[in-house]
Structure 1
Amino acid sequence: MAHGLHELDPETFTTLRITDAEDRIHARLDRPDVRNAIDATMIEELHALCAHLEHDPKILILSGTDPDPATGRPGVFASGADIGQLRERRRDDALRGVNSTAFDRLAKLPMPVIAALDGYALGGGAELAWAADFRLGTPELTVGQPETSLGIIPAAGALWRLRELAGEPLAKEILLAGRILDAEEARTHGLINAIHPAEELLDAAHALADRIARQDPLAVRISKQVFSLPREAHPQVDNLAQAILFESEAKFDRMQAFLDRKKARSTRRSEATSPETSPAQTSGDHT
C-alpha cells in the first residue's frame, strides 16, 4: 500500500475505513473477522493518517466495528495486537517500537483525538485508546492489559499512561495482576469520560467533536501542546503561548463578538424594564 506524503485517499486503506469531513476525520478500525486485531498494515495506515492530520489538523474520531443485529455479532474496538504477528517479532522489532511509535504519534496530533470504544479494548487496543484525548464507552466495554499472561509487557504506552490516567494502585492491578475492567469501573476510575448505549456511541463522539469545533482551533491546538509539557515548563510556556494567542485575529474577533452579545443582552433588558414601556408591551398582552 502506497500513500503520498500528506494526501489522504480513503480508497487505499484496507484496515481503516476513513470518512473525511471539513473539521474532522472518522477512522473505523476494520478487521472484524479478527476482532480488529492490530497488525502491521493497520500500524502503517495509522502512520499515514497521522501524517495527513499533522499537515492538515482536524479532530480525529477513532472507532471500531459496530454491533450487527442481523448476525448478533457484538461491537468491538480492538481485541489487541495480532498475536500471530506478535509471536514472530524479535528484539529488533521491539527496539523499533512498532506500535508505540504509531500510538505516540497519534497522541501528539495537533487536534484532539476521541476514541469511541465498544466491546473489547484489550492489550494494544487499550493502549491505542489510552493515546486518545477523550474516551467514550458503551455498557458492553471491556478494557485491560493481558500482556503479562503472554510473557511480554504492554510496551505501547500503558506502562506510563495508565499511572497518569488512573493512579498507581489501579494501574498496577491492571498491569501486574491482569485486572480487566468493565465500563462502569473504567468510568469510575477516569479511564473513560462517559458511557453511552452502543447505538448512540458515535452520535456522542460527534457531539463532543462539535463542542471542540466551536472553539478557536489555534487555541485548542496550543492548549493541547502546553497541557502535555512537564511541570517544569510552566508557567513560562503558558506565558509564551498566551503571547502568541493575544496577537491572533481570532482572539480579537471572538472577544468583540462576546462584547457585542453582552451589549445586546443589556440593551434588551433595559428596554424590557424601561418605565416608558407599557405593562401590556412587557407582558406581551396585546388585548
Structure 2
Amino acid sequence: MSQYSETHDPETRFETLGVEWREDRVVVELRRPEARNAINAEMIAELHQVCARIEADPKPLLLTGHGTVFAGGADISELRERGRDQALAGINSRLFERLHRLQAPTVAAVDGFALGGGAELSYACDIRIATPTAVFAQPEPGLGIIAGAGACWRLKELVGTSVAKQVLIGGFKLDAEAALRHGLVAEIVPSEELRERAHGLIDRMAASSAMALRMTKMVLDADGVHPLADDLTQAVLFESADKHDRMTRFLERKKR
C-alpha cells in the first residue's frame, strides 16, 4: 500500500489519490509526487471510481494536486508504449469527458505546473482557480503526438481559437496572469490560501439549490437550440419545493 493512500471511506483505498468524502463535497488530491503527479493508468482507473461514486451521489468536486504541482502531464513511459488501439480507446479523454459531465459543479485548484494531460484534466472542470506559480501548457507535439484528451477543442472553447493555437501549435505557455487575462482561471490566490479559497467557492455553490446548479450546468453544456432547453429546465425547477421555499425565505427577509 502506498504511503500516500488516504481516504475517509474505509471501503475504498487508493494508490494515486487522496480522497475525502465529505457530506457536501468530494475533495480529490492527485498524489504521485515521485512523478510530479503525472497521470498514469492507475490514476485514471481510480478517478473513474471517484466519478462513479459522484454519479451515484452527486456533490461538488474539488480537484487539486499534491505539493506544489497540479499534474505534470500524462505518464510518458506509458504513453510511449501505447499504440493505435489505445489511442482509439480514448483512455484519458473518456475519463475527462466523464468528469466534465458530472452533474454537480467541479473546481480545479491549480498550483504550479498543469502540463499536457494535467492541463486537459483541469480544462474538464467547470471552474479553475490558480496560484501565481501556475503554468498551463501543451507540449505534446514535441513528443510526436497531439493533445488528444480534449485540449484541441476544449481549450478553444475556454480561451478562443487564437490563444488556443498559440498554446497548441506555437508552444506558448499560459502563466497565471495570462490564464486570468484570457478567462481560463477565475482568480489568482496565494499558494497558502488556494484550498481555502477553493472551498469558499464550493461553499457558495452549496448555498444555492443543488437542482438549480445541476440544471444550469446541463443547459450551459447542451448542444443545439438553447431557448427550448431553458424553458424545459425552468419548467422542472418552477415545480420544485426547493424553489418555492427559497423564494419564500427571500421575500420574508425583504419584508423585515
Query: What's the secondary structure of 1:33's corresponding residue?
Result: helix
Give the aligned partner of residue 35 of structure 1: 36
Query: What's the secondary structure of 1:242's corresponding residue?
Result: helix
**Structure 1 residue 243, shift from structure 2 partner:** 0.6
The alignment status of 1:48 with 2:23, answered yes or no, reads no
Partner deviation per Cα, 1:156-177 (whole Å, 9 max, x = no partner): 0100011111111110010111
Give the aligned partner of residue 234 of structure 1: 226
| 2:62 counterpart letter in structure 1 | I
Query: What's the secondary structure of 1:136's corresponding residue?
Result: strand
Aligned match of 2:134 in 133, 141, 148? 141
**Structure 1 residue 11, shift from structure 2 partner:** 4.6
Partner deviation per Cα, 1:110-151 (whole Å, 9 max, x = no partner): 101000001110000000000000101001111110000100
Contact 1:137 1:196 in 2 (8 A): yes
Give the aligned partner of residue 125 of structure 1: 118
Aligned match of 2:247 in 255, 261, 282? 255
Partner deviation per Cα, 1:217-238 (whole Å, 9 max, x = no partner): 00000110111012x3310111
Query: In the aligned structure 2, how far is the partner of 1:199 from the partner of 1:106?
Result: 26
Residue correspondences, number: 249
The alignment status of 1:107 with 2:100, answered yes or no, reads yes
Query: What's the secondary structure of 1:235's corresponding residue?
Result: helix
Contact 1:10 1:18 in 2 (8 A): no
Aligned-CA RMSD value: 1.2
Contact 1:15 1:30 in 2 (8 A): yes
- What's the % identity of the aligned pairs? 53
| 1:63 counterpart letter in structure 2 | T
Runs of 4+ in 1 over 3 A off after TM superposition: 8-11
Query: In the aligned structure 1, how far is the partner of 2:120 from the partner of 2:90?
Result: 13
Give the aligned partner of residue 210 of structure 2: 217
Query: In the aligned structure 2, how far is the partner of 1:250 from the partner of 1:163?
Result: 36
| 2:81 counterpart letter in structure 1 | E
| 1:260 counterpart letter in structure 2 | E
Give the aligned partner of residue 168 of structure 2: 175
Aligned match of 2:77 in 71, 80, 84? 84
Aligned match of 1:201 in 173, 194, 200? 194
Q: Which has the larger radius of gyration?
A: 1
Runs of 5+ unmatched residues, structure 2: 2-8
| 1:136 counterpart letter in structure 2 | I
Contact 1:10 1:19 in 2 (8 A): no
The alignment status of 1:243 with 2:244, answered yes or no, reads no
Query: In the aligned structure 2, how far is the partner of 1:195 from the partner of 1:233?
Result: 34
Query: In the aligned structure 2, how far is the partner of 1:25 from the partner of 1:233?
Result: 33
Runs of 5+ unmatched residues, structure 1: 2-7, 67-74, 265-287
When the two structures are superposed, what TM-score results if normalisation uses the length of structure 2? 0.95
| 1:56 counterpart letter in structure 2 | D
